[in-house]
Amino acid sequence: MGREDNPGLTPVIVKTALFLDYDGTLTPIVDHPDRARLGAVRKRFLRTLAQRPVVKIAIVSGRSLASVRKQVGLPGLIYIGNHGLEIMLGKRRVVVPAARRFAKTVRELKTVLHRGLPFPGVLIEDKGYTISVHYRKVHRRHLKSFRQAFFRAIAPWRKRIRVTAGKKVLELRPPGLWGKGRAVKWLLRQPQLRGYQPVYIGDDRTDEDAFRALRQRGLTLRVGLTSATAAQKCLPGISGVYRYLERYRQP
């Protein structure tokens, strides 16, 4: 898929639900999750956009719900955390039952991974209902050994967990197919979003689930120029995301 700054839409005239990934879409990917800050200018931009009566904004993230709400810091938005396992819709917090059951396994895996991955640069992120093992800072000469140690450590749980890969991260999640795609489809059935047309923007493998789920229903945009995506269009980078969103800010 080629460069696409303007997917050819006119300014928004219908009710639109904007589903926006966070890391790599609204903010650059950095070496530590806590450093992925949403700058003041872009925060004001999103706040103004969210005030439009024909626009709803949902932040969709692999982060925990608490983490993504803290990083974005804007009230009134919909937040989806842990790849769809946690949802905050108004004052309503929803946790998928499979995630609650998985919490004990997360605690067990965290202990095992800390013992089994003694590599400089590894970051094990406990997100309550999932675990992210970041290896962006692991030296490339250790990557093969790191992956071998990772799969050796989780072997006793292998049939009871789901392993997915992102950008320099391995995710341990509850078994089953619940992900960003099913979370978005669930939200679109809620009264607050009925009649809204979905637009989904994301940059990572876990966003492909949502691209496929919305294939026949909305507009899907992949951040980064690639043909290896189920998204309908591509945006060239984070600056392209904000240029594209500008059309929804216009009356």
Q: With H, G, I as helix, E, B as strand and everything else as coil, classify residue 139.
A: coil
| Catalytic residue flag (residue 21) | yes
Q: Per DSSP, what are the bridge partners of residue 173?
A: 162
End-to-end CA distance of the chain: 31
* CA distances (Å), origin 175, targets 47, 130, 164, 182: 36, 11, 11, 14
Active site residue: 21, 203, 204, 207, which one?
Answer: 21
Separation of alpha carbons 206 and 231, rounded Å: 12
Q: With H, G, I as helix, E, B as strand and everything else as coil, classify residue 100.
A: helix
Pick from 199, 145, 167, 185: nearest CA to 62: 167
**What are φ and ψ of residue 220, in 5° steps?**
-125, 135
Q: Cβ neighbours of residue 4 under 8 Å, at least 6 residues apart?
A: 221, 233, 234, 235, 236
Q: Per DSSP, what are the bridge partners of residue 60?
A: 21, 80
DSSP secondary structure, 188-204, as one string = HTSGGGTTPEEEEEE-S
The residues assigned a catalytic role are 21
